Amino acid sequence: MNIILIGMNHKTAPLEIRERLSLTCGNDANHLAEIMKFPEIQEVLYLATCNRVEVLANAVDTAGAVEKLRAFIFHHGNLSAEEMARCLYLHYDDEAVRHLFRVASSIDSMVMGEPQILGQVKDAYRTAVEHNTTGVILNRILHHAFRVAKRVRTETGIAHNAVSVSFAAVELAKKIFGSLEGKTILLIGAGEMSELAARHLLNQGVRKILIANRTYTRALQMAENFHGTATDFDTLAEKLRDVDIVISSTGAPGYVITPPMIEAAIRRRKNRLLFLIDIAVPRDIDPAVNEIDNVYLYNIDNLQDIVDTNVKSRQREAEKAEAIIDEEVGKYLEWFNTLEVVPTIISLREKMEGIVKSELVKSGSWMQNLHEEEKKNIEILAGSIINKILHDPITGLKEESRENGALPYIAALRRLFGLDDV
């Protein structure tokens, strides 16, 4: 097995590095094409989210592939050697499979049990399939990962009262104010994170939600779905005067809220407190606004305390999930180990069937006097004999591949039956 998983996530890399990577490492087919040019790599999946950038590869040359992938991340993330050493993780073979299963099952997420990551993995896989960068090995791993995620979600309570970074943001707002009833919230961005935040806000009794998005029609659509009010993106500075809480989650490459905007709003607000929660990567809100009086800014890493509380409450369910993942990794390894015996089994059966066919041809002088049904019965009998002869060797070969490694048995079979003879 030559499976490699290399990357960095919210556990290993601070926000500053993750947002630097996200600016240059989106889920872009160009990155897949670039990686597939490396002769050391046969298959690749590229996953980039706000909290992780990972490459899963099936390699021809493991050491060479790791070197190329390190250089790829180094170049696109504009990282220093020290940052690479500190932030990058590397998993091989069964540990790489285990890591992917944990990611797809949301065990490795900032907020354990959140549902978005599975959709993100599926999107990354869809992109890889569309651009022909996956084959037998990665296709099997990814489909297996989706089944594992389904088992974890249905057999454990890991996703009960499902949470996300958006949920954590709403929990933080609730913690600040005690109650959100009667508060005015401005959501900047109309993507999945904002939709989740809107849903949680409604559950907390919020009835006045303003939604700003660069595409106004999208803001209108979301406002209709969540009983909110769409507002033009260009009026953000004005809206900051009237709201209590801002939750921002856009895909903008630069800041959408700046110190001058906040300073102007605060003067009009007569110093009424303003809470800003930035859950975007790259960040939407200039960190300098936190220096302004009566303004409190929280970013995605500040949500970790809430996340930690959620993780503790789910730890028992997480243990069940880990047991499922261990079991499924074992099943995947069983399948993978049988791959080495498949060519020998096929060759062995083809040789046996070739011998029978040849002998039946030689017996044509007396078989020609038989009826067609009698000839067919003889062919069926010969096939049945082949199956009975091959049953024990094939079964034993598969068992050895699962338990001990079948290479010595493969070599012996190929020599004894002359399977490599030209």
Q: Which two tokens stand for residue 400?
A: 């050895």
Catalytic, out of 32, 50, 55, 206: 50
Q: How far apart are CA 68 and CA 62, in angstroms?
A: 10
The answer to whether residue 87 is catalytic is: no
3-state secondary structure of 142: helix
Q: How far apart are CA 386 and CA 348, in angstroms?
A: 10
Give the Cβ contact number of residue 271 at 10 Å: 10
Q: How far apart are CA 55 and CA 38, in angstroms?
A: 13
Q: At 238, which helix (H) or strand (E)?
A: helix 236-239
Q: Which two tokens stand for residue 320?
A: 């069940």
CB 319 within 8 A of CB 139: no
Q: At 210, which helix (H) or strand (E)?
A: strand 208-213
Spell out where 254-399 has E strands: 274-278, 295-299
Q: Write down how long the chain is.
A: 422
Greatest CA separation for the chain? 109
At 314, which amino acid appears? R
The residues, ordered by sequence, that sit 6+ positions from 361 with a Cβ below 8 Å of its Cβ are none
At 85, which amino acid appears? A
Annotated catalytic residues are 50
